[in-house]
Structure 1
């Protein structure tokens, strides 16, 4: 398999009886995307996560009463998915999931349920009932969006000792220590974000010393120093929007370039990808590139950092961009694929290779 060829999985908003999880072959040298397989997963399998082995895939499905995690075997060569297992997610409306770097656990954030959970994974890729569910409490200042806690994502730290949970409803990042023997999440620390910010997603710098948080409600990015003990200290903050923009906007995804010199952030409403520099320990917005579609709910950098793929939910498309590795700017290329309401793209590492998802 060429170093320019990748396999990706896509989660979508979909009706319970319609295909909702897709696999896509991506050839960056030919600027080509190809739909390989599609499966019916249930209502709104919005977020997907790959096992580090590349052999398994997990989808967070918003079934009624309690969410469901679906497990799939992945044939990397053909992209074929085979459902092998399922388990309750632990609470209402799972909106994000991630796999522990060791491949032992799946972590799930539940927006409506206001909880996070931890599920053990079996050696053959199966998923068990939640080993732990932690309910969040609290609220913040937004009269509609922050009446209750809303954990929006859950991401393992670089060493896997801690997981980090931005809570849109309480304007906090909650840090949990992972107890591998007990299969539990122990509250460890909390970090306040400015009132009304609405923390959504975060990513880790490649040096393991920085964390970058995107806030949905006030369209900002905050940089933190990440300390050896897992705690965070605030460094700087900047807007994701150009000066003078007066329209409605909600940010969505954030990712750091493998060089560590640039960040990318998506604006829904302004419908753009913002490029920010992280150099000199100060966030600064460099450019805003139209996403060539509507409502960029998610995007992913290719594992080599040379390309960026945007999931435009409201225009039913995934579009590709080239990344200028020197300046961090992005340019639309010929890659495009029609997918109904795409909301997440996760890279599936080739078994035995170094391809991995950038989070």
Structure 2
């Protein structure tokens, strides 16, 4: 969109929200794009895409040109990663390519800032795959695959490795792999100029509390601290970070005192200003725990916000820090919250968006 002021053409900025889902049938819509009204918090549909099965997790390229999806199959070796081109002027989303992951349930993927690499985590098999990306967004066949077989103390949930996320360090020189099955965060060095970029880091793993089930992982904007949400332990672990090494600082509960067990913590994000951390709880809670972040990286509980839906699997915060959007696959709703930058507290705005099986959300301004 162009706005003309005094004869000068200015590009109007639009904020788009990308949503993936468990559609269970690729003949139905699976990926959706909405525009976010940054005053009222209203979501207006822009486009959607059929022909992709269970695009349960999405990520965007650094330049916003491409959307990448991992598609859960529930069938052995049938999982895949796919790429799509988003054109903000035409408001169109177009399929580009797809590659097998070597597993049935890919659950997370991340793109390198240079646009040349994609890393995927397969939950069920406990494996990680690395793919080159061509300039036009085409995903090439995977060139590396790592299998993690080690389990931990809970035989029902931790019989083997279960990689739940793949996260680059702030300088993109390392990759961290929280393994719910092994109670470890694996660390790998990433060298973009090598044909096979991933190699085991000097410190190959950081242990987490036994039975905690590390899930998602994020870095503080200052690059000095890292935070891992533990699905089974209902806690966030805080780490000092330096050059590929994590050193534990704190472990704090994500749940309030009224919830003593059956933890299902899921996602974790930090506000762009670095002042607050947010952690989602599913199960009986269906809320987001809010923490203030001290200068030394440690957390202090501020409060809890109901997400107004069932099973807040993922959420995200926009680059301005004003909005937080939650995806609920069980209730089939996406909910927009306005964030108070001073207090860190959240307030629901706009109407709930009804989308069957919606499971993942990303926000980007163009």
Q: 2:262 aligns with which of 248, 262, 271?
A: 248
In 2, are the aligned partners of 1:25 and 1:79 still within 8 Å (CA)? no
TM-score by length of 1: 0.93
1:48 alignment counterpart: 58
Which structure 1 residue ranges, 4+ long, deviate > 3 Å from structure 2? 1-5
Using the alignment, how far apart are the partners of 1:52 and 1:280 within structure 2?
28
The CA deviation at 1:142 is 1.1
Partner of 1:124: 136
TM-aligned CA deviation for residue 135 of structure 1: 0.7
TM-score (norm 2): 0.92
More displaced stretch, 23-32 vs 142-151: 23-32
Larger Rg: 2
Question: Which runs of 5 or more residues in structure 2 are unaligned?
Answer: 2-10
What's the offset of the Cα at 1:313?
1.6
Trace 1:119-198 onto structure 2 (pairs within 5 A): 119-180=131-192, 181-188=194-201, 189-198=204-213
Distance 1:113-1:215 versus aligned 2 partners, 3 A rule: same
Cα distance, 1:93 vs structure 2: 1.1
Matches within 5 A, 1:279-358: 279-281=294-296, 282-350=298-366
Aligned counterparts of 1:156 and 1:309: Cα–Cα separation in 2: 23
User: 2 CA distance for matches of 1:292 and 1:177?
Assistant: 40
Alignment length (residue pairs):
349
Q: In 2, are the aligned partners of 1:96 and 1:108 still within 8 Å (CA)? A: yes
Q: C-alpha separation between the residues in 1 aligned to 2:45 and 2:326?
A: 16
For residues 362 and 232 of structure 2, the distance between their equivalents in structure 1, rounded to whole angstroms, comes to 25
Q: Name the CA distance, whole Å, in 2 between partners of 1:349 and 1:16.
A: 30
Range with bigger deviation, 265-274 or 30-39? 30-39
Residue 62 of structure 1 pairs with residue 79 of structure 2: no
Mean CA deviation greater in 38-47 or 217-226 = 38-47
1:79 positional shift: 3.2
Q: Look up the SS of the partner of 1:19 in the other structure.
A: coil
Kindly indicate whether the alpha-carbon contact (under 8 Å) linking 1:8 and 1:347 is maintained by their aligned counterparts in 2.
yes
Contact 1:273 1:288 in 2 (8 A): yes
5+ residue gaps in structure 1? 351-359
Cα pair distance change 1:83/1:223, threshold 3 Å: same
Aligned partners of 1:301 and 1:113: how far apart in 2?
30
Return the match for 2:126 from 114, 117, 120. 114
RMSD of aligned alpha carbons: 1.6
* Residue of structure 2 equivalent to 1:200: 215
Match of 1:104 among 111, 116, 133: 116
Contact 2:166-2:175 within 8 A present in 1 as well: yes
User: Structure 1 30/243 Cα, relative in aligned 2: closer, same or farther at 3 Å?
Assistant: same
State the Cα distance separating 1:41 from its structure 2 match.
Answer: 4.1
CA offset digits 1:106-149 (Å, max 9, x no partner): 01000012100110000011100101001112011112110100
Specify which of 211, 227, 231 is matched with residue 212 of structure 1. 227
| Residue 78 of structure 1: how far off its partner (Å) | 4.2
**1:314-336 deviations in whole A, cap 9, x for unaligned?**
11111111111111111111243
In the alignment, the residues of structure 2 paired with residue 46 and residue 297 of structure 1 have an alpha-carbon distance, to the nearest angstrom, of 10
Counterpart-to-counterpart distance in 2, 1:232 and 1:104 = 26
